[in-house]
Amino acid sequence: MSRVWQAASTVDAILSPGLLEKAAAAGLRSIFVGFETINAANLAEQRKRQNVGRDYAAVARRVHDAGVMVNASFVFGMDGDGPDVFDRTVEWAVGVGLETATFHIMTPYPGTALFRRMEAASRIVHRDWDRYDTRHAAAAGVGAVPVPAGQRSRDSGPGTAGPERDRTGAPATAGPGRVTSRVLVNEPHRKETPK
């Protein structure tokens, strides 16, 4: 097959013997993986059964060994997150050679079990549905989100893009109820695409 393509996968599907190799042979070159968090307690609390007890470094190695790029996704603002969650997650991602990563704020979408739990605990902070977008805090966190105004979060630096812009074109800055969404690009670990 002469086409190259990308896909999304769960952690447990990547660890399934033979599946990833067949996809790579068929032209898979980039895979989106919802790691969610590097905190095992958060995974259990959020009922992310497909990730619980999985060795994320082994997942990254397996994908890279197949010649595929990892596009990882992480969520901040779970109850087990502390103020160090940003730096710890980025350091881990760079350390295992993830090529790209996106970072989001945990968002309790209406109609979900998470929303019902947050509402029952009086943790929903607003009902402006336009801001239920993983870039704005919609629930009061007990850990790292929201970032207080003026607190340093990893907005920029080597290997990371700066803050995104909001709908008006203004920089999306950290502040009460808001954390900038960032994309990590890990250039030293980028591999040549197999021909």
42: Cα within 13 Å, side-chain hemisphere? 20
Residue 54: the pLDDT is 66
Residue 144: the pLDDT is 43
For the chain (length 195 residues), average pLDDT per consecutive 10? Answer: 87 90 96 83 64 76 95 87 86 91 90 91 91 88 46 34 38 39 42 47
Residue 178: the pLDDT is 38
Residue 62: the pLDDT is 94
Closest CA to 101 of 154, 174, 52, 40: 154
Residue 49: the pLDDT is 60
Average model confidence (pLDDT) for the chain? 74
Determine the Cα angle at 188 with ends 183 and 194, to 5°.
95
Contact 31, 69 (CB under 8 A): yes
